[in-house]
Structure 1
Amino acid sequence: MFETPSSDGTALDTGCVDAWVEQLAASNGPDDDESRVAMLGALERLTCAAAGLQAEITARLDESVRRVETERGVRKERQGRGTAAEVALARRESPHRGRQHVGLARILADEMPCTRRGLRTGRIGEWKATILVRETACLSLEDRQTVDRRLAGDLDRVETMGVRELEGRATSLAAELDAAACVLRRRVAESERRVTLRPAPDTMTRLSAELPVAMGVAVFRSLLDAADAARAQGDPRSRNQVMADTLVESVLGTTAGVPVEIELVVSDEVLLGTREDSAYLGGYGPIPAELARELAKQGAEQGLATVRRLYRGPRPGQLVAMDSRSRRFTGGLARFIRLRDQTCRTPWCDAPIRHTDHPVPVAAEGETSHANSAGLCEACNYAKEALGWSVRVVDVEPHMIEIRTPAGQVHRSQAPPLPGHVPRVDLVFSYGAA
């Protein structure tokens, strides 16, 4: 275990930190406002310093893992694949955040000593450190360290900066030191333009697009102009409503229906209105019974809905057994697993399922079946192939897998229950354009 000396020379271990957590959990804080405000500041410095120590430990963990993998003959391009997943599980975060933590830790340890010192001493937070690392990513080591000294070298100043001010100063300094590198970075960013979808409160979704600045401004201006024109002609919808409806119509060709396939899992009793349990919408999650009935009715009225009986079982939410003679999960079995697992089965990872994995590999006589399966995102599937990782199926009903990491962490992941609590026939509505 990596040990950091405390101020009195004794080693800081997990027992000491656990004792702090217990003490904080049992405390109500000071009794007067002046002391309360002072305590808020002290706790914020503690939070920042803790993040600094986490970064230090992460960097040393990554270094240690790579050294062991080198000794065991792992190719350099495959080294460290599992470290981000290990860190993410330990910190109860997604693998994506784990990769960010490892990247930040390595840069702070190797290239940005002033930023590292500010974080370790609690003068700046993890987000400010991340901004400095991110905005200097395009620079050479020498130029990056120049920005590090000129900004984080003055901790009294950087400590009082707002996030936007710090980001602006770092961006300006980077352009001043290497304008060509900043141009190249912009072009790379433009090549990585994308659209993402995330759930939002009240059964809404948040559709986001990362676009080149001119393209993004032009799209928004076009939607705004459409809204202003509609409002000028007496359209009763709000400006935001018109902009949203115009966006949908420009992509789908209509705002009245859903001309692409979606999957709605709903029990027969919910569909008939005799129960008010939730339903499950593929790609989103649980939705209210009233909305499920509305979507099913809409699909039926437009002649777009196809109904498949998906499962029946003695337990609520238990899917029927399905298997395949193939080495790959395809067709109905792949659909079955995707609906059963909903998102990546790695704890704290909410990423969409991209790979259907055999916990017991085919090479070890693992079957291609609902029991020996787990829906994973791409990153998690690759991480589990790293040295020292193992996955096994613990139970089938409900489906549960166990993940063991090289550092000895053990995590169990149970497939989420499908909506409803009635052990009767449940239906999948797939509807949209043929």
Structure 2
Amino acid sequence: MNDASLPSAPLAGVRVLDLSRVLAGPWCTQTLADLGADVVKIERPMRDGAGGDDTRGWGPPFLRDRHGHDTAESAYYLGANRNKRSVTVDIAQPAGQALIRRLVERSDVFVENFKVGDMARYGLDSASLLALNPRLVYCSITGFGQTGPYRDRAGYDYAVQGMGGLMSVTGPSRQEIADDAPGGGPQKVGVAVADLFTGMYATTAILAALRHRDATGLGQAIDMALLDTQVAMLANLGANYLATGVAPQRAGNAHQNIVPYQVFEVSDGHMILAVGNDGQFARFCEVAGRPELAGDPRFCRNADRVRNRAVLVPMLAEIMRRRRKSDWLESLEAAKVPCGPINDLAEVFADPQVQARGMTVSSPHPLADDLRLVASPMKFSKTPVQYRRPPPLLGEHTDEVLRELGLNAGEVAALRSSDVV
């Protein structure tokens, strides 16, 4: 990473004022920053040992310094805040609100994830800021949106995974394990997918609004909600319910609409078999030494296999247990039948394909010689993703950004003495 901005960056020249924290908002703004936008992250000043983005303290693990000691920078925070500049401002104070408005005048995008009504109390709501800068794209991210009976509730990923239906279809099926058994019942996804999807939908919405702004000269307000996103990302399962009126149930590691498409036990562990069409099923049967299964009228088409899942899957499970994982993977890959191992993260980052795709990035950090982060998955032929800055220390760029606003050293000192920044 370096501080030099490359002119070829897709969002070079776009200025983003980021008043979000935790994950959905920061994930959105990190994506914009990776694409070249100048993202200024506004954080609470440190007071009585508390301040900044909440996730700075969400550890261990924490970044280790050059002497092997934990710093105050959590891995969670580091994973969602690269390429940004951090400025501390107390927006509860009128002088802090005035600073934000000055920054808004020179910004293209404003992102916040405060509870509904909080921004209006500070005079920083979308109506006020669009009146100040009509070209502004103002994106609000909340649990439940700016309208509806739940608008005033705080929203969290875990609760939204439950409310939005995801947990009702995640976890072992009732045939595999009873709800009251250890490990039974609904399960959340292993990462905060409602937050992450909302961040990505917000990114898409912001880019669309910028294109509209460039065509018309007018900005607009974007209302993003975790619950809306969670409902939308049910995808085929949501469509299944709307088409039939029957709520899909948990299917464990199986697919609701495709068979065989699940985890199978093999002689030395487990692996994934992901047969996506009838041709692949026929090739699997050849590799498995059971070609007659592909011609069985109960199994020859996917719709038949789904209807006869309870008959077919136990047959396949018995076949799969006869051979080692490496044998299955080699044979199935040669036959172009989708399959794969179940890797832990050490195996993921050691995988030659992951390494060849450059899915880690290293940079110096003010507190460490080498900071390793997960890279962006976006690959461009002409405008590559830029890694210009490591995740900032709290308030690291306050003086720099205030100087860009035209404040002199005395004015900045006065703001510090009054605990505004």
TM-score (norm 1): 0.28
Question: TM-score of the superposition, structure 2-length normalised?
Answer: 0.28
Higher relative contact order (Cα pairs below 8 Å, separated by 6+ residues): 2
**Structure with greater proportional helix content:** 1
